[in-house]
Amino acid sequence: MKVLYNIGILIFSALAHLISPFNSRASLWVKGRKKWAEKIAEKIKPGDRVIWIHCASLGEFEQGRPVIEAVKKEMPVFKIVLTFFSPSGYEIRKNYNKADCISYLPSDSPYNAGKFIDLVKPEFVIFVKYEFWNNYISTLYRKNIPLYLISGIFRPGQHFFKWYGSFFRNMLRKFEKIFVQDQRSYDLLTGIGMEKVYLAGDTRFDRVIEIAGTAREIPQLEQFRGGEKLFLAGSSWRQDEEIIAEYINCFPSGMKWVFAPHEIDKANIERLEKLFKVKYIRFSKYNEDYADARVLIIDNIGMLSSAYRYAYIAAIGGGFGKGIHNILEPACWGIPVLFGPRYENFKEAVDLLSVGGAKSFLTFDDFKRILDFWLSDEKIYTISAEIASKYVKENAGATEIIIKEILHKDINKAYS
């Protein structure tokens, strides 16, 4: 299996190089890994004490961020090397100021794994959620460098739990400790004989509470909302937008409407604008003369998390594609949340649906029924809003558990 794994890594890397002239993501993936050793050597010098933290992409970074910042605060003597597999993580967070060195993770060949670890010389390593690279894991284990997994989540269909999964189970056994998000993951791992498993929860809850605590005021949204209720479609995609726009065109006076599309390029904004039969305005062009517009389109990056504070109801995009975006940010503000049908792999979505803090829609009729439900009765709305807020608060605390186990127990013990 190890031979097949290494062949698969080579094939994947070769394909990325082949399609890179025609695919922007593959191009970033390839170019970003050129001269990676030289780039790291510029930041990490012999004698530096280093912690290496790896995230697959942007979502995993947001899960790892509370831990990164807690480590940096409590152990400033360490330099942090932060790596990403995906361009969507690296390109957005390559200037993150809490890490001392930010890099793409070189492809998982035996040579790259050995060279990277010899160059970085981490004293301990954290992988976030579900990154399992055999050559990196095996090299760390061979060198007796502790490796931790945080915010892990596991499902019965994964290779680890199949009859042929011994190769993958062996990777798990090389982790010093595994911190999982939910009881199912804990039961699955202990069911295959894993011992150092901790039910810590999801660090994203800590992160969204932190974000809400530092949210900035946006006077333009306050003015645009006026005395009406405001609906915010966050990280929206075409399928979400078409259904919501149809509702707006049918019931233009029901609420004020804000869209923060996932893609803010000129062509996508213009496509979105064509959906509306009511007055709309882009945030970049907004002033008090447009306060009577029914729709406002946020055409910038970085404002969405603060914008949720002005919303009465939120819809989160992605549920008609690969999966929904972050629903915890609006829920943290005590806002009922809607999303499309592809949510089954997102525990927080399943949980919020089950307790009544969220609803899922597939069609225009679904969407209308849900809004009518929440808008028709203030008491019903308030119950859903309180459930959403309570869910986030009750699931916070994973960062504290992780830091206690890694820093206060393991690391302090190692250097005492």
Range 17-201+397-414 classified under CATH 3.40.50.720: no
Average pLDDT for runs of 10 along the chain of length 416: 89 90 88 92 93 93 93 92 92 92 95 96 94 95 96 93 94 96 95 95 92 93 95 96 96 92 94 97 94 95 92 96 92 96 92 96 97 93 96 94 85 56
pLDDT of residue 414: 53
269: closest CA among 256, 255, 285, 254? 285
Parallel, antiparallel or unpaired: strands 313-316 and 337-339: parallel
pLDDT of residue 237: 95
Looking at CATH, the fold of the domain delimited by 210-394 is given as Rossmann fold (3.40.50)
Amino acid letter, 350: V
Residue in the block written with tokens 């191009």: 27
**Domain residue extents for the chain:** 17-201+397-414, 210-394
For 151, which DSSP code?
Answer: E
pLDDT of residue 301: 85
| Phi, psi (rounded to 5 degrees) for 399 | -60, -45
The reply to whether 17-201+397-414 and 210-394 are identical in fold is yes
pLDDT of residue 262: 92
Between CA 323 and CA 317 the distance in angstroms is 8
DSSP 287-353: -GGGTT-SEEE--SSS-HHHHGGG-SEEEES-TTTT-----HHHHHTT--EEE-S--TT-HHHHHHH
Q: What is the pTM of this model?
A: 0.85
Between CA 237 and CA 28 the distance in angstroms is 23
